[in-house]
Structures are given as C-alpha cells and as structure tokens.
Structure 1
Amino acid sequence: MRLHFRFDHRRDGFHLQAAGEVPTAGITALFGPSGCGKSTLLRLIAGLERCNNGEVRMEQDIWQNEQTFLPPHHRPIGYVIQEGQLFPHLNVRDNLRYGWKRAGRSTEAAAGPDFDTVIALLGLTELLARRPEQLSGGQRQRVAIGRALLTRPRVLLLDEPLAALDREAKHAILPYLERLHRELALPVLYVSHDTDEVARIADRLLLMEAGRIQAAGELTGMLTHPDLPLARSEQAETVLEATISSHDTDYHLTRLRFAGGELSLATPAELATGEPVRIRILARDVSLALSPATDSSILNILPARVSEIRPLNPAQALVCLDLGGTPLLAHITHRSVDALGLAPGSPVYAQIKSVALLV
C-alpha cells in the first residue's frame, strides 16, 4: 500500500507546498539542503505538526483531510529522529518491549518482524541488558529503530537518523539499514542531506528545495538527470546495481557485472560470486576517448554513446553517456569537448579511473 501526502503549510514565514507518495516497499530518500522543509514534511506526515490544508492517506485509509485528523499515536507509523530518545530508566530489552506492547494494542498494526527477528536484524543481542547511558550513539539509534519496527508500522519514518553520529559510527550502522532494506518489505521515508547515505541505501529520491518537491524518481535516474542539480554538482555521481561475477586471485581484483557491461576493482575476496552490490562512479573520475587505449593503467574502459552535453561553468561541461541503456556522467573541459568533436550521438570510450563499492 502506498502512502500519499499533500500539504500547503505556512509557518513562521516558511511556505511548504509539497505532494508525493512513498511506494509499498524500499527506501525513499527525502533529500535536499538544510532548511528546505524535509523534517517539517515528515512531522506533518506523522501528525506531530498540524496543517489545515493537507491530506495523508495509506491508499483508502485516511489519516488526514479536511474532515479527519488522526493524532500521531493513532497513525500506524514508526518514527525515529536524530537522537533516538530511549527511555533512560529502561534497559534495551524493555525499551524494545515498549514498542512490542504498543503493536499489541494497535488495531492498525501491520504484519511485521517478531521480537527475536528484530534483535537479530539489528545485532542487539549483546546489548539487551544495558541501559541507554551505556550505549554508543550508533547503538542507541539501532535500538530506537528496533523499537519503531516492533510497533509493527505500515511505514517507517527516519528523520536524519545518522546526523548526530561521527563518520565511524555511521559506517557501523549503515550495514544494519541495508539488512533491513533487503529483508523487510516495509516502505521507508528517509530524510537526509548526505549523498553518501542516500547513494548507499535509497531506491528512490524525492528531491526537495525551498519547501517544494522538485522531482521524484528512481535513484540512478535522479542522480544523472541533467536538469537536476545533483548531476551538475562537483560531487556528481552515477550509482549502479551490479553483481559479483568473478575474482582474480592473482591480482586481487573482483569483476562486477552490470546492465552496461563489466568493471574491475579491488574488493574484499569474501564477497561471494552472484552477490548483489552497489557501485559509485564520480563524474570527475570519467574521461573520454575516441578509441580504446591499449597502453593505459586504467582498467575500466567501456564503449558508450554521448546522449547530451550541457555547460557546467565557463571551463567545464557535463557529458551524459549511455552505456547500453545504463546512464553515466562525465565532467570534462569544453576544450576536450571541442578537441574530440563530441556531440549527441557520438560514439566514445568511457575511461573510468575509479570505482567505489558502496559497503
């Protein structure tokens, strides 16, 4: 069941005017700069902030419209903010049980994972007897997410759940979010302004700016669309779904197969053949040639076709490439565009200097 929302909301000089939907499963990232209204939109969906001109529904189940307003505790949601706000007087087990008891009282609770499954998914077994003050920031967030899941929500709302964590703690918790993504058929609306988080776990993007949703779509298409600011930023990137195809044990390289071809990179050998992974290619790490180099240190050289060229600034251009149906971005100089005679439809070879595995 899809979550649908529509709001026209004014507060303290800020005007939020946004409408959209969250699919039945997977992670939808609500992405944009600080102050654009992401958290306000999430609070409106949760019922924590009231909007006189708004609608929220899960298909035909109305949570809010002109006649109806369900308070937050009557909406079948799980909600986690930057700091999980665990009950300080309860240990981890009892914080989790609080969510479990709430699900038992709710007539709106969805089918979902049981107590032991949530503990296993989030790696909480060794933490059950600890109190919140004995936990690290990342551990507290895992418990908060577990408690939210145990309410058996029909949608999980995560408001920048990693924003208060340092880089090491973020990397420690992301695998747990990926595990939830893989193993639970639960729609998640994930607020973030961090491209690394979004690239790693999101399936879909709602791109937000100044209280408006500028665009919505699948992750790769949104990252590479030349009309959107993500493709024109210095950190522009392409994120691809790939599969481990083989390992070269002599050179400690792994071959990855994706819809547009194959790539090689140094990755941990413990990744099993056939395992799905995500990879990131920065636009600045892609150069172009008219013929394939045979005397280059670059391992990944793929045939492509130019689909579009846009100016980035006085010195650089954005070149959109098609790798057999898979989009790829390159940032190169205008001088290089002219020297190679590039135009839409030109056949080229994409020389990919660096590929990152999102793990």
Structure 2
Amino acid sequence: MPTNLIFSQIFCHVWQSNYLFEASYVFGALTLIFLVGNRAIQITGKYQDVFAPSLCSDLTYLIIIGLASVLSVICQAFLVEWNGRYCRCPENVLPYWILVAAYVAVFVRFGLAVIISPIILCVSCYKIVQWVRYTPAAELSDTWNGLILPRATEAKVTEKHRPRGWMTASMCTVPLSINFVAFSIYINTYQFSCAVGMCTLVFDSATYRICFLVIPYHLFSTNKFLAPILCHTWSSCYFSCISYNFDVLVLNFIVGHRAIQITCKYQFSFSNSVIADLTNLGLIGLTCITILLSQALIVSFDGKYCRCRDTEVSYELLVALYTETFVRFGLAVVLSAIILRISCYKIILWMCYTPSD
C-alpha cells in the first residue's frame, strides 16, 4: 500500500475494493455489445456505406459508456475503508443506501452478463454469420476490410477491399462474443447466487479468482487426485510462469522471424505451413514446460492445504530454482530486449526507406 495518506485512501477505494475491475468489466461489456450490435444492424440494414465514420460520434459513445460504467458500480468503492494502516471492510454498519446500491450493482451485472449480453451478442453474431453464409462470394463487401495506412498504394487499397468469405473482418465479432459470454457467466452467476443468500462471497478466494477459467474450484479441492494437480500447477504459480515464458518466446519468434524475412528479402520464398507453425509452437511449449518444472515442486499437498514444503528442499531442486530464475531474467531483460529492439529497428527502417510504390 502507498504510504501517502491521500494515495492510500484512493488506492484502497479504487483498487482494493475491486471498483476499478468492476467498472472496467462493465465498460468492456457495454463496448462489446455496442460494437457487435451496431455492426449487425449495419450489415442487416444494408447501410455500411451510408454513414461515414465520425470521430466525434465515436468519442461521444465512449464517453457515455464510460460514465455509465463508472456510475453503475460506484457503490463498490464504499464497501471498504482505510483505517490508517490497512484497507478492510468497515467495522461500523454500512449505510442502508450503500447496501441497496451494492445489491443493485450485483443484479445489474448479472442481468448484463447473463441475460442482456448473451441475447444481443448471439442474435447479432447469428445475423453476421447468416450474412456471410448466404451472400455470394463476389458480392460480399465488408467495409471493415478497408482499414489501411495513410501511405497505402492504390493496389493495396484494392487488395484490402476484395471479398474474403469466412475470413472477412466482421467475423471477428463472433469469437469475441463467445469468449465474453463464456468467461462471464460463471463469476456473475456465483455473485448472484451469493447475493440471494445461497452462498457467501469471499473476495480473493480461490473460487472467486479461478472464475476466469470457468472451472468450479470445489470440483478440484475436494478430489484426492485433482487437488494435488491443482496445487502443483496452479498454486505454485507453475502455470503462470509457463504462460509468461511461452508468450515471451512466441513474441520473440514472431518479431525476430518477421525481421529476418524482411531484411533478407524472402517473404515470398517459403509458403506458410500449418505443420511448421504447430511444430514451432510445440517446441516452444515443451521448452517452457521443461525449464520451469522445478517451480511445480516447491509446494506440497498435505491432504487439505497446498503449502510450502515442511521438509528440507533437495540441493538439486534449489539449483534448478536458481537456474530458472536466472533463465527468466535473461529471457525477459537481456535476450528479449536485444532481439525485439533489433527486429523492430529493422522493420521500421524497411518501412521508412522502401518506396511506397
């Protein structure tokens, strides 16, 4: 926590209370609903080219959505208080209006995520999919395909506007909608169940934090076989470390490989191969799993809790842990910085000094 009194209170009410998270969630939900719904109306109403994009109108929509997000969950910021040292739930009885507002916010989020969003997003995605499916390929005009850079040539503009079938840009709304609906139903159903008295909502509990995986935690914690797996993969941060290193290696591979293709002028020498791409991803994933394996062994499951080992850790495990730390430092601070900096520099030079025509 910050040591400054003013910043401590702000941090407590904005961050520790989950107010920023709640407001961001509502903002993201409303923005996605507006984006997908508006696109479906444009397509089904056949007026993609009737209205030109306006920066003023777009900013107005964002401001309205932002204000609605900030005000709809403002009560969340008053569920905690700063006592001079810690941010915790208030010891006194909360005012009636805060309790009512808190319950209203839960019901609003539940209605938004479980009722309103799925209906609007499913209907909109269905309309977009039907439009792509039944429109002849030669007549499938999608204005979202025409997003180009200012210095683009006429040939590039023509290439961007060509029909792309199922790969058209408007189809990106479908996976975005599926992802939002699937990953939102669990946490909102959980909060709603607690609001009506079926359970107790505990912030930062395992059930609350694992919600984004859409896996009920009790299925793991009560199973004698799955609980140790959850302990060694999740509680030990093994899964988190693998994900981080995998992202770093994939980013280095993509950017570095692209820079080599551009500077060596063999962009068109080799055709894209799904097998080669999957092989590269498999090798990167196997590397991450192997070099971080020691992370999963620093904890143990005693039948009820996942905790640090009570017994003395072996010398080999300590060496592996130290090696892993230095490997991660070298990967994130040294290797990535060098590769990404040189690669981006080469790509920028290629864009600046290559004639546009």
Query: Which TM bucket (shorter chain)?
Result: under 0.3
**TM-score w.r.t. length of structure 2:** 0.26
Tell me which protein shows more strand as a share of its residues. 1
**TM-score w.r.t. length of structure 1:** 0.25
